[in-house]
């Protein structure tokens, strides 16, 4: 973030301390419950690592000293690599990255104007869009493929993602089998497990459950991924008024407790594991009991979550750019811009859901990806701030041009025309008569053209034939192409 842009703090120092203290008291006196069979083996491990365990109720509690010791060992910064090295994400160093969100079940089909079930080709197409859009800096597997069998969900959606973008790929895994498939697949593409561990270009999403529970299968995935050097996030996803208190402060306290618990458990499994502090606080419209991920309160809480993560010097997986709108419209534009700017100004490291999402993160749209890329570009330009130095202050050129002159043809203007201004691709800036001559294009029509242009030029895939052959040999019977 540029030095001329003020860092947004929605919580005062005193407020921040109170939320943190409440979360720590929750972890000490209430704890986190393990849900599922065979949790006993994890209870024993966590107890040996210093946690207080109630085996009868499968509860794990963490005192303050344990939390501090484990957080001190968590890495303050690490890199989520791209496959070609051109879009590496250096987390924990003051950088702010925006990406899409994922694992939805529906897609808006602009041809029919209605929603349809998402398919495997939509994974490939959204990955292609992200690979070709400048401001969306990582790819999260966008949707559930309804045309493949569950046994191969994670294998195929990670394969199709990696075959269509070289940017970092993150995705959720719902079982240990899926996590093993992803690791084996990525190891083949990387050229071996050691190379993947050195520069992991995939990462995995897991979630704690609200309120204050974690599934045993989540621990299976955390244990496996951290042991293999695969970066993970263990996100806390409270819903204010439903699975967490109606008050924003109460939801933040519970969310923070869940996020810290996930961080602690991961560090107990593998000290020094690359883990992002995970925060996806959401809300309900309690008048009608509607789930609302695009609310302004969600933006506020995610900005606060950045402060909570920074209190422990942890990179954060934060959320913004969601809307309640069902189509790319004015509502989508102002809700997305407000939250992206808010969480960006708070200093979020890794901001997901920022592109492509509609309908409270229940659907995606190709056109929305392109529109959101433009919104994110504008936000990034704001976050870079105004560069003030001897050259940009321009005393010499102002003196040379003098009163009544113009600067259009000055070398100083040419030198700075590309670094001082954000040039939108979709926004209409022409005069009215020229706009009419062009058929009155709007942002949505231009986005549709951009989608067709990108997908029309896309190759069949980025992975080489030899790599695909090795993958097919490693996973016989799986549909790779």
Note whether residue 86 is domain-resident.
yes
Q: Which domain covers residue 195, as residue numbers?
A: 72-384
Note whether residue 359 is domain-resident.
yes
Asked whether the beta carbons of 260 and 30 are under 8 A apart, the reply is no
| pLDDT (0 to 100) of residue 55 | 94
Note whether residue 278 is domain-resident.
yes
Note whether residue 67 is domain-resident.
no
Asked whether the beta carbons of 361 and 104 are under 8 A apart, the reply is yes
Core vs surface per residue 245-282: b (16+ CB within 10 A) or e: beebebbbbbbbbbbbbbbbbbbbbbeebbbbbbbbbb
Note whether residue 435 is domain-resident.
no
Question: Hey, what are 264's tokens?
Answer: 């602690």
Structure letter (DSSP) for residue 181: H
CA distances from 183 to 243, 433, 459 (A): 33, 56, 25
Q: How far apart are CA 140 and CA 102, in angstroms?
A: 6
Please state the length of the chain. 481
Note whether residue 469 is domain-resident.
no
Q: How far apart are CA 85 and CA 166, in angstroms?
A: 9
What is residue 170's three-state secondary structure? Answer: strand
Note whether residue 3 is domain-resident.
no
Note whether residue 7 is domain-resident.
no
Report which of 445, 453, 409 is spatially closest to residue 426, judged by C-alpha positions: 445
| pLDDT (0 to 100) of residue 3 | 85
CA distances from 212 to 44, 216, 221, 251, 409 (A): 19, 13, 18, 11, 63
Q: How far apart are CA 172 and CA 178, in angstroms?
A: 9
Asked whether the beta carbons of 110 and 367 are under 8 A apart, the reply is yes
| pLDDT (0 to 100) of residue 481 | 61
Q: How far apart are CA 318 and CA 105, in angstroms?
A: 22
CATH code of the domain covering residue 304: 3.20.20.480
Which parts of the chain register pLDDT below 70?
480-481
Beta strand 32-35 pairing with 363-364: unpaired
| pLDDT (0 to 100) of residue 478 | 75
Report which of 415, 466, 27 is spatially closest to residue 253, judged by C-alpha positions: 27
Number of independent structural domains in the chain: 1
């Amino acid at each position: 973030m540029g030095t001329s842009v003020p860092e947004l703090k929605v919580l005062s120092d005193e407020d921040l301390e109170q939320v943190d203290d409440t979360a720590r008291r929750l972890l000490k006196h209430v704890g986190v419950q393990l849900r599922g069979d065979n949790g006993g083996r994890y209870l024993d491990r966590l107890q040996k690592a210093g946690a207080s365990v109630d085996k009868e109720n499968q509860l794990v509690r963490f005192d303050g000293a344990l939390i501090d010791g484990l957080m001190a060992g968590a890495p303050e910064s690490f890199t989520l690599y791209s496959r070609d090295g051109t879009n590496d994400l250096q987390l924990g160093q003051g950088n702010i990255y925006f990406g899409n969100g994922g694992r939805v079940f529906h897609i808006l089909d602009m041809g029919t104007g209605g929603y349809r079930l998402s398919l495997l080709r939509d994974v490939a197409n959204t990955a292609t869009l992200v690979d070709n859009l400048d401001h969306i800096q990582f790819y999260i597997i966008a949707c559930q493929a309804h045309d493949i069998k569950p046994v191969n969900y994670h294998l195929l959606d990670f394969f199709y993602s990696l075959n269509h973008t070289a940017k970092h790929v993150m995705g959720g895994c719902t079982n240990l089998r899926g996590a093993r498939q992803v690791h084996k697949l990525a190891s083949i593409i990387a050229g071996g497990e050691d190379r993947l561990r050195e520069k992991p270009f995939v990462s995995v999403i897991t979630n704690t459950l609200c309120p204050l529970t974690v599934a045993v299968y989540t621990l299976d995935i955390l244990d496996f991924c951290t042991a293999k050097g695969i970066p993970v996030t263990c996100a806390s996803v409270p819903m204010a008024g439903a699975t967490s208190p109606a008050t924003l402060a109460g939801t933040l306290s519970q969310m923070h407790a869940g996020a810290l618990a996930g961080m602690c458990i991961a560090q107990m499994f593998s000290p020094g594991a690359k883990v992002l502090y995970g925060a996806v606080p959401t809300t309900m419209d309690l008048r009608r009991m509607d789930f609302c991920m695009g609310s302004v309160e969600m933006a506020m809480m995610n900005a606060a979550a950045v402060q909570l993560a920074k209190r422990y010097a942890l990179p954060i997986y934060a959320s913004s750019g969601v809307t309640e709108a069902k189509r790319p419209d004015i509502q989508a534009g102002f809700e997305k811009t407000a939250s992206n700017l808010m969480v960006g100004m708070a200093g979020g490291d890794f901001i997901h859901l920022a592109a492509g999402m509609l309908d409270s993160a229940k659907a995606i749209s190709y056109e929305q990806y392109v529109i959101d890329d433009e919104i994110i570009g504008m936000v990034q330009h704001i976050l870079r701030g105004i560069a003030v130095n001897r050259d940009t202050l321009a005393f010499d050129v102002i003196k040379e041009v003098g009163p009544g002159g113009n600067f259009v043809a000055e070398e100083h203007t040419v030198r700075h025309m590309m670094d001082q201004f954000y040039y939108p691709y979709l926004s209409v800036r022409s005069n009215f008569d020229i706009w009419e001559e062009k058929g009155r294009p709007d942002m949505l029509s231009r986005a549709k053209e951009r989608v067709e242009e990108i997908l029309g030029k896309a190759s069949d895939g980025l992975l080489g034939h030899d790599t695909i052959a090795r993958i097919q040999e490693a996973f016989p019977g799986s549909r790779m192409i």
